[in-house]
Copies of this chain bind each other. A is one copy, B any other.
């Protein structure tokens, strides 16, 4: 049996492992938290820091193929493992490009991938040079995650919230829609594209509010998006899954925002609404099986369950039975024992017929189901 390792034990690892049990594979997880969502679903759980060189190196030497569920891992160890013959998917070179927002932006520029204009800054003080560049988005080069590490700068008065560390200052796009698309690249280079989805973001938490699949796009933009996604996936030159976030501006132009070279929040709905889930797809890539079909079997809406404001402690899910009573609703609770405001605690996918139906169901789920620290009222 092939031995496969995952760096990181969060919900993405958890869902990967649920799917792994369909295949002849022995699974390993490295994570510093023994109670993480993926800890109990693998053959071998290894307690350790995915950012630590020795921990990643020791872990990687036990497996045949290695993947990630988060970018914030020790790259030097992955590069060493690659030279030792361990298959790392995605390739460490891709991770190096993507992990730094600066290198990622430069890569798009070199590859002629449409992405908003940018400059790099090394300190907060340097922002003063770029008054004419406003309005802009300031993005920390490394370590940003789930809305942290991003600041909107409308006027010089906002410079004080900018980062005093290497960062990208990017032209603000007048966004009409946020779009995401997942590309699958097999070991032999075969590619498949999931239908694009449309995200609607909560302006406060900057976490996904709900996501519609498929995205409502003009035929012209579907073609344009497809061309960009295939070009970008090919440019990375690595097998793996690539979740590409794009922005459609009010002039109808598409811009690449960023790419995650792994299973992604924007692909949770593929578990129930697509022929092949993103998790199944990644195992097919890791185990060198043919890609599955990315096609949708139903339109769907995805609602993230995040910890309610003001609640920090043991998690309860009032309204879960009511949501499970909805036709076509599927709940995924990530098994985190403690909730805190804005923490991703689970998600719900609902199958439906059209946008009106899906948005209605999304609102219903959000009204019914909360993550709080006391049992049902």
Binding site for B on A (CB under 8 A): 1, 14-15, 17-19, 21-24, 27, 40-43, 275, 284, 288-290, 292-293, 297, 315, 317, 320-321, 324-325, 327-328, 330-333, 335, 337
Offer 13 A-B interface pairs, CB within 8 angstroms, sorted by A.
A1-B335, A18-B21, A18-B22, A22-B332, A22-B333, A23-B331, A23-B333, A24-B317, A275-B328, A284-B324, A290-B325, A292-B324, A297-B297
Q: Which of A18, A22, A23 has most B Cβ within 10 Å?
A: A22
Chain B residues whose CB sits within 8 angstroms of the CB of A335 once the complex forms: 1, 21, 24
Asked whether, in the complex, the Cβ of A331 is within 8 Å of the Cβ of B43, the reply is: no
Number of copies: 2
Cβ distance A338 to chain B, nearest Cβ, rounded Å: 12
How far is it, in angstroms, between the C-alpha of A350 and the C-alpha of B288 when the chains are bound?
Answer: 21
How far is it, in angstroms, between the C-alpha of A335 and the C-alpha of B3 when the chains are bound?
Answer: 13
User: For chain A, what secondary structure do more than half of its interface residues adopt (helix, strand, loop), or is it mixed?
Assistant: loop
Chain B residues whose CB sits within 8 angstroms of the CB of A320 once the complex forms: 24, 289
Task: Please tell me which one of the listed residues B22, B331, B337 contacts residue A330 in the complex, with CB atoms under 8 A apart.
Answer: B22
How far is it, in angstroms, between the C-alpha of A330 and the C-alpha of B283 when the chains are bound?
Answer: 13
Asked whether, in the complex, the Cβ of B324 is within 8 Å of the Cβ of A289, the reply is: yes
**12 more CB-based (< 8 A) A-B contacts, given A23-B333, A275-B328, A290-B321:** A1-B337, A14-B21, A17-B41, A18-B18, A22-B332, A24-B317, A41-B41, A289-B321, A289-B324, A290-B324, A290-B325, A292-B324
Chain B residues whose CB sits within 8 angstroms of the CB of A14 once the complex forms: 21
Chain B residues whose CB sits within 8 angstroms of the CB of A18 once the complex forms: 18-19, 21-22
How far is it, in angstroms, between the C-alpha of A292 and the C-alpha of B41 when the chains are bound?
Answer: 25
Asked whether, in the complex, the Cβ of B24 is within 8 Å of the Cβ of A333, the reply is: yes
How far is it, in angstroms, between the C-alpha of A263 and the C-alpha of B126 when the chains are bound?
Answer: 64
How far is it, in angstroms, between the C-alpha of A320 and the C-alpha of B317 when the chains are bound?
Answer: 40
How far is it, in angstroms, between the C-alpha of A330 and the C-alpha of B281 when the chains are bound?
Answer: 12
Cβ distance A130 to chain B, nearest Cβ, rounded Å: 47
Cβ distance A300 to chain B, nearest Cβ, rounded Å: 13
A40-B43, A42-B40, A337-B1 known; A327+B22 contact, CB < 8 A = no
Chain B residues whose CB sits within 8 angstroms of the CB of A324 once the complex forms: 284, 289-290, 292
How far is it, in angstroms, between the C-alpha of A290 and the C-alpha of B319 when the chains are bound?
Answer: 12
Chain B residues whose CB sits within 8 angstroms of the CB of A42 once the complex forms: 40
Asked whether, in the complex, the Cβ of B22 is within 8 Å of the Cβ of A41, the reply is: no
Nearest opposing residue in chain B for A333, CB measure: B24
Chain B residues whose CB sits within 8 angstroms of the CB of A275 once the complex forms: 328
Nearest opposing residue in chain B for A11, CB measure: B21
How far is it, in angstroms, between the C-alpha of A276 and the C-alpha of B54 when the chains are bound?
Answer: 44
Cβ distance A323 to chain B, nearest Cβ, rounded Å: 9
Asked whether, in the complex, the Cβ of A21 is within 8 Å of the Cβ of B41, the reply is: yes
Chain B residues whose CB sits within 8 angstroms of the CB of A24 once the complex forms: 315, 317, 320, 333, 335
Nearest opposing residue in chain B for A320, CB measure: B289
Cβ distance A349 to chain B, nearest Cβ, rounded Å: 11
Chain B residues whose CB sits within 8 angstroms of the CB of A23 once the complex forms: 331, 333
Nearest opposing residue in chain B for A39, CB measure: B43
Chain B residues whose CB sits within 8 angstroms of the CB of A292 once the complex forms: 324
Cβ distance A18 to chain B, nearest Cβ, rounded Å: 5
How far is it, in angstroms, between the C-alpha of A15 and the C-alpha of B43 when the chains are bound?
Answer: 15
Chain B residues whose CB sits within 8 angstroms of the CB of A297 once the complex forms: 297
How far is it, in angstroms, between the C-alpha of A324 and the C-alpha of B18 when the chains are bound?
Answer: 18
How far is it, in angstroms, between the C-alpha of A2 and the C-alpha of B288 when the chains are bound?
Answer: 38
Chain B residues whose CB sits within 8 angstroms of the CB of A22 once the complex forms: 18, 330-333
How far is it, in angstroms, between the C-alpha of A17 and the C-alpha of B335 when the chains are bound?
Answer: 13
